[in-house]
């Protein structure tokens, strides 16, 4: 087990593909010599052959270094984190091998600037060495293409040096120049006043220089290759998403590949790309300009939908708000200006996007304001929602909030699939998918070449080879949505009361009413903070005098914070007078949902006790010999070696080998290890010809003995099924607000309305509830709307709730997902958690896993409430075809409890 590599993986939170790549670097850094290639040509050829053989032994895909030094390539999909892997490799080679000198090559100015921040700025949110404690007090010195001739501390002991160069700068500084007709050495090869030699000579003379090549496909041209070869590094690490040189030839030194197709199949680290066209689209007699307008309109529709989903996700999960934008690809600069003028005009969506569009190409790139807006596209403060470009977005443009791409030029389908899409695959939330389809999706609007793009994407040789395809119904293009918040009834009533207070004309009366309202708000906002007090076991306990005093003290403290409230004394007095009444109102308008974090325990691995099959444990000690050769006469003789016999305890020797296997923990398996190692020893001793050689035989074959024991241990290995950990339970929690989208026009329905076709139900917000904990809800299906109808009109039901996404903390699927119940229903004697589900999916593994989690929640909730005079909790999983508006709730309880 490589503890240094494992620590780096944990500290840098490396994703699985990057962990695998780092393991390869760790292995090869041990296998390779890590010396400079000899200057003698014949010796150099032999040296490189031997080094290549070492790599080929483990990685048959590496058949040629393709450079004058050992260099290995990693083909890793865009968006997975190649820069973080470079940081991990630097940290590992320093910590494990003591290598202090690194040379990082960037293919263009954009990546060059980004890498300087990534490697050199600890305050930068993407700093690659965050978590590497050894680099906190010994920060790597960053030497760049702009300051290399000013470095005066290059020989400081213990210093880690990372040289970062832009390849174009590197090449230009490596070219000779003329001045006054006199030939000058290339700038990088001229004398340095600090070093007393050229920087080039200094670099090429370093004995431990490792070169890392970002976007390595850019450094296979002869000029780049020759310049890099002259540096004479001991090792090259090449990273690229497209391992092909400028002639289309595949790299011959790839040791690891994690392709975009694999990333898409895994469904974790990149957006899911989709191609969209308008439903029933036909080109017919449409002009190019008309098609462009249709595509732009469709892109806006998709963009607004995505924007809404991101806002809802942000509010529901308490995470940063991501502002999406559209990328429009134009044919040339004049075309880009024409599209810019259209979008930025009053005619385009009534001027809604004026000031929110940016044209970025060679004619605008150097304008300071445009450059500033372009570089800050991820910032929520940046108002740009549409970027128009002409061939300006190459590697290194790694924004995470690009969600919609509109190619207006006549793009080759394969080029569109393999290049343009790559610019938008990065994910905004920690580089992982959220599980919300629209937030995890990148959409390319491609009408006239829709079929061609599909064919290109489905080509077995496509880098994607896995895409989804969607058609936009025309009616969706005419709808516009906005985000609305449905607050719990108790909060909504206070907002309504505020409106009435604002209408009071007499200032004294208005202030008195405001103080009364502020007292109510303060109490309502404070009550959930006191659910963890030992004396509070249900909502009624909030009326205890000692609890009331604590609540009032907290209210007074908050009112006095900052500049304070002029009316604190009046508000506190009002709060004391109305406290019991507000608590009663609070209880009346909530369901007492016990608060708990329900999480699964860890999976435990167990080696079961067993007796060793010793059939093949027959080892005889080998003769130990010394070979001696004369330096002058080359004579060879063999001498017999005699052992001192100090091998140590034979059983412990075997155990020491066994615990090198990462799955075997000594503390957990000590008894079994001693049992097996002793059985192995006893059997070898019984069958050995010379008993006095037993220790020597164990010493010589300890690795083979441990391997045979390990194989049998694996056959007796089991994983426990994790159970839910008993949680700490609190008596109640606040009812969370809902955030959802609604159609701007005609987006509301009465819950009693019959919606046709039923597929339209999820589009509407429903109102008119009298028993619910909110005034407004959305439903995912007609079944859910029908169940709401039943609950509102069933006398048995006192209150019901459609919980918001963050109402419960119930986790499942190894704690990677949170279960969100559909309905909570309170009756006179019980509280029910109810999940309507398609009858076809009742035995689906995910459904059953969520059911198990829900039942556990109900169990722990009931254990708590039964001790505190509360109501028991029960779970119902109901097939959709059992729910209609004509049933009553008792029938569902009788059939599915």
pLDDT digits (tens, 9 = 90+) for 332-389: 889 989 999 999 998 888 889 999 998 887 777 666 677 677 778 888 888 999 999 8
Q: Which of 41-55, 444-458, 459-473 has the lowest mean pLDDT?
A: 459-473
Average confidence score pLDDT of the chain: 84
pLDDT (average), residues 51-62? 88
Does residue 94 lie within any of the structural domains? yes
Q: Residues 128, 10: one domain?
A: yes
Q: Is the pLDDT of residue 641 over 60?
A: no
Assess if residue 306 is contained within a domain. yes
* CA gap 190, 588 in Å, rounded: 83
CA–CA separation, 262 vs 257, rounded Å? 9
Rg of the chain on CA atoms, in Å: 35
For residue range 458-497, what is the model confidence (pLDDT) as tens digits?
Answer: 665 555 554 454 555 565 556 677 888 999 999 999 999 9
Q: What is the mean pLDDT of residues 80-90?
A: 91
Of 258, 285, 317, which residue sits at a domain end? 258
Residue 190, phi-psi category: left (phi > 0), alpha (psi -120 to 50), beta (remainder): beta
* 469 neighbors 274 (Cβ within 8 angstroms): yes
Cα–Cα distance measured from residue 436 to residue 137, given in angstroms and rounded to the nearest whole number: 41
- Looking at the structure, do residues 10 and 144 belong to the same domain, yes or no? yes
Q: What is the DSSP letter of 250?
A: B
Question: How many CB atoms within 10 Å of residue 126?
Answer: 14
Rounded CA-CA distance 190/200 in Å is 8
pLDDT at 146 exceeding the cut of 60? yes
Listed residues 665, 689, 719: the one ending a domain = 719
Q: What digits encode the pLDDT tens for the residues 411-439?
A: 555 555 555 677 788 888 888 888 888 89
Q: Residue 184 above 50 pLDDT?
A: no
* Helices (H), ranges, 318-410: 333-343, 368-375
When pLDDT is averaged across residues 144-169 and rounded to a whole number, the result is 70
- Do 296 and 249 lie in a common domain? no
DSSP classification of residue 865: H
Angle between helices 666-687 and 650-658 (to 10 degrees): 130
- Identify whether 278 is part of a domain: yes
Q: Predicted confidence band at 397 (pLDDT cuts at 50, 70, 90)?
A: low
Which tokens sit at 797? 């039901």
User: Using omega within 30 degrees of 0 as the cis cutoff, is the peptide bond preceding 836 cis?
Assistant: no
Q: Do residues 566 and 698 share a domain?
A: no
Q: Span 74-98, mean pLDDT? A: 90
Helices (H) and strands (E) in the chain, counts: 25, 31
Nearest to 729 by CA among 574, 865, 891: 865
Report how far apart, in Å, the C-alpha atoms of 25 and of each of 20, 66, 88, 239, 888 are.
Answer: 9, 18, 10, 12, 65
Taking only the tens place, the pLDDT of each residue in 780-814 is: 999 999 999 999 999 999 999 999 988 999 999 88
Does 295 share its domain with 400?
Answer: yes
Q: Tell me, what's the pLDDT at 598?
A: 93
pLDDT of residue 215 exceeding 70, the answer is: yes
Residue 421, C-beta contacts closer than 8 angstroms, at least 6 positions apart: 273, 405, 442, 444, 464
Residues 277, 244 share a domain: no
> What is the reported pLDDT for 392?
56
Instruction: Name the residue range of residue 448's domain.
Output: 268-478
| Domains in the chain, number | 5
Q: Which is nearest to 876 in space by CA: 888, 857, 892?
A: 892
pLDDT digits (tens, 9 = 90+) for 606-629: 889 999 998 888 888 877 656 666
Do the bridges between strand 817-819 and strand 809-812 make them parallel or antiparallel, or are there none, so unpaired? antiparallel
Predicted local confidence at residue 26, as pLDDT = 93
- Kindly report the pTM of this predicted structure: 0.64
CATH number of the domain to which 7 belongs? 3.40.50
Q: Do 377 and 253 fall within a single domain?
A: no
Q: Copy the structure tokens of residue 292.
A: 């462009």
78-92, 236-250, 756-770, range with the lowest pLDDT: 236-250
Same domain, 582 and 464: no
Q: What is the pLDDT of residues 655-711, one digit of tens each?
A: 999 988 878 888 888 999 999 999 999 999 988 888 888 888 888 899 899 999 999
Q: pLDDT tens-digit profile of 803-854?
A: 998 899 999 988 888 899 999 999 999 999 999 999 989 999 999 999 999 9
Contact 308, 481 (CB under 8 A): yes
Residues whose CB is less than 8 angstroms from the CB of residue 190 and which lie 6 or more positions away in sequence, other chains included: 184, 198
Residues 751-770 have pLDDT tens digits of: 999 988 888 898 899 999 99
If asked whether residues 571 and 705 sit together in one domain, one would say no
Q: What is the CATH number of the domain that holds 792?
A: 3.40.1350
Percent of the chain at pLDDT > 90 equals: 44
Q: Is residue 211 part of a domain?
A: no
- CATH number where 405 lies: 3.40.50.300
User: Counting Cβ atoms within 10 Å, is residue 810 exposed (0-12), middle (13-18) or buried (19+)?
Assistant: buried
**207 within domain boundaries:** no
Helices (H), 395-473: 413-415, 450-458
The fraction of the chain above a pLDDT of 70, given in percent, is: 85
Do residue 660 and residue 793 come from a single domain? no
Between 873 and 755, the more confident residue is 873
Evaluate whether residue 191 is within a structural domain: no
Residue 758 half-sphere exposure, CB side, CA atoms within 13 Å? 7
Domain co-membership, 474 together with 520: no
Distance CA 284, CA 115 (A): 49
92 or 302, which is more confident:
92
Q: Residue 168 falls within a domain, yes or no?
A: yes
Write down which residue in 478, 506, 527 finishes a domain: 478
Q: Check whether 194 has a pLDDT greater than 70.
A: no
What pLDDT sits at residue 417? 54
Give the max Cα distance, the chain: 119
Looking at the structure, tell me whether residues 24 and 44 fall in a common domain: yes
SS3 266: helix
Residue 651 lies in a domain: yes
């Amino acid at each position: 087990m490589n503890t240094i590599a494992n620590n780096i993986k944990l500290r840098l939170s490396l994703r699985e593909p990057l962990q695998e790549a780092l393991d390869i670097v760790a292995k090869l850094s041990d296998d390779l010599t890590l010396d400079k290639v000899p200057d003698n040509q014949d010796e150099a050829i032999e040296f490189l052959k031997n080094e290549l053989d070492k790599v080929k032994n483990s990685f048959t895909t590496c058949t040629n270094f393709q450079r004058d030094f050992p260099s290995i390539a990693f083909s890793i999909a865009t968006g997975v984190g190649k820069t973080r892997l470079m940081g991990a490799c630097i940290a590992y080679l320093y910590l494990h091998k003591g290598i202090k000198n690194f040379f990082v090559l960037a293919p263009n100015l954009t990546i060059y600037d980004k890498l300087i921040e990534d490697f050199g700025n600890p305050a930068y949110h993407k700093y690659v060495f965050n978590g590497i404690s050894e680099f906190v007090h010994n920060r790597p010195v960053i030497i760049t293409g702009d300051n290399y001739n000013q470095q005066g501390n290059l020989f400081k002991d213990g210093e880690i040096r990372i040289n970062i160069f832009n390849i174009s700068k590197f090449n230009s500084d490596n070219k000779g120049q003329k001045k006054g007709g006199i030939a000058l050495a290339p700038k990088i090869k001229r004398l340095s006043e600090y070093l007393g030699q050229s920087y080039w000579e200094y670099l090429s003379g370093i004995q431990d220089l490792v070169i890392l090549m970002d976007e390595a496909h850019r450094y296979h041209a002869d000029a780049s290759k020759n310049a890099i070869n002259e540096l004479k590094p001991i090792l090259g690490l090449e990273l690229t998403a497209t391992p092909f040189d400028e002639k289309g030839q595949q790299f011959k030194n790839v040791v690891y590949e994690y392709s975009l197709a694999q990333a898409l199949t895994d469904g974790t680290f990149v957006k899911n790309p989709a191609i969209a066209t308008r439903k029933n689209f036909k080109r017919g007699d449409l002009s190019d300009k008309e098609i462009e307008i249709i595509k732009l309109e469709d892109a806006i529709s998709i963009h607004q939908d995505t924007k809404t989903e991101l806002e809802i996700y942000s509010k529901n999960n308490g995470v940063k708000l991501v502002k999406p934008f559209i990328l429009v690809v134009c044919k040339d600069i004049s075309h880009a200006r024409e599209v810019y003028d259209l979008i930025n005009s009053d005619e385009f969506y009534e001027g809604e996007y004026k000031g929110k569009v940016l044209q970025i190409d060679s004619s605008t790139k150097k304008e300071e304001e445009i450059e500033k807006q372009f570089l800050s596209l991820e910032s929520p403060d940046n108002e740009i929602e549409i970027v128009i470009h002409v061939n300006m977005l190459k590697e290194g443009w790694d924004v995470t909030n690009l969600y919609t791409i509109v190619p207006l030029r006549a793009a080759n389908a394969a080029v569109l699939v393999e290049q343009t899409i790559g610019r938008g695959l990065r994910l905004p939330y920690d580089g992982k998918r959220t599980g919300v389809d629209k937030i995890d999706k990148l959409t390319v609007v491609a009408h006239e070449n829709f079929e061609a793009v599909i064919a290109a994407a489905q080509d077995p040789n496509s880098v994607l080879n896995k895409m989804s395809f969607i058609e936009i119904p025309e009616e969706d293009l005419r709808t516009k949505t906005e985000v609305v918040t449905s607050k719990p009834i108790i909060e909504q009533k206070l907002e309504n009361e505020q409106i009435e207070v604002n209408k009071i004309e007499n200032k004294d009366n208005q202030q008195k009413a405001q103080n009364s309202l502020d007292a109510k708000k303060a109490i309502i906002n404070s009550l959930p903070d006191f659910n963890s007090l030992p004396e509070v076991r249900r909502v009624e306990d909030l009326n205890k005098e000692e609890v009331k005093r604590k609540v009032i003290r907290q209210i007074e403290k908050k009112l006095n914070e900052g500049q304070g409230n002029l009316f604190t004394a009046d508000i506190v007095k009002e709060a004391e007078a109305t406290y019991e009444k507000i608590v009663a109102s609070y209880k009346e308008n909530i369901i007492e949902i016990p608060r708990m974090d329900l999480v699964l325990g860890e999976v435990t691995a167990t080696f079961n006790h067993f007796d060793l099959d010793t059939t093949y444990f027959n080892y005889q000690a080998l003769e130990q010999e010394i070979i001696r050769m004369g330096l002058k006469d080359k004579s060879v003789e063999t001498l017999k070696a005699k052992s001192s016999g100090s091998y140590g305890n034979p059983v412990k020797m075997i155990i020491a080998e066994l615990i090198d296997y990462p799955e075997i923990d000594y503390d957990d398996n000590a008894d079994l290890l001693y049992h097996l190692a002793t059985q192995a020893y006893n059997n070898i001793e019984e069958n050995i010809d010379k008993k006095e050689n037993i220790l020597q035989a164990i010493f010589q074959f300890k690795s083979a003995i441990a391997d045979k024991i390990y194989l049998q241990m694996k056959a007796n290995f089991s994983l426990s099924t994790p159970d839910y950990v008993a949680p700490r339970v609190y008596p109640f929690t606040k009812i969370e607000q809902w955030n959802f989208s609604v159609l701007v026009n005609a987006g509301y329905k009465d819950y009693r309305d019959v919606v046709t076709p039923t597929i339209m139900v999820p589009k509407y917000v429903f109102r008119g509830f009298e028993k619910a904990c909110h005034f407004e809800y959305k439903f995912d299906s007609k079944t859910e709307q029908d169940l709401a109808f039943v609950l509102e009109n069933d006398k048995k039901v006192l209150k019901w709730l459609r919980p918001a996404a963050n109402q419960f903390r119930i986790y499942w699927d190894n704690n990677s997902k949170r279960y969100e119940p559909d309905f909570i229903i309170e009756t006179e004697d019980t509280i029910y958690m109810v999940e309507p589900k398609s009858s076809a999916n009742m035995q689906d593994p995910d459904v059953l896993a969520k059911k198990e989690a829900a039942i556990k929640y109900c169990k722990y909730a009931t254990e708590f409430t039964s001790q505190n005079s509360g109501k028991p909790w029960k779970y119902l999983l109901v097939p959709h075809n059992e729910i209609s508006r004509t049933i009553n709730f008792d029938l569902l309880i009788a059939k599915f409890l």
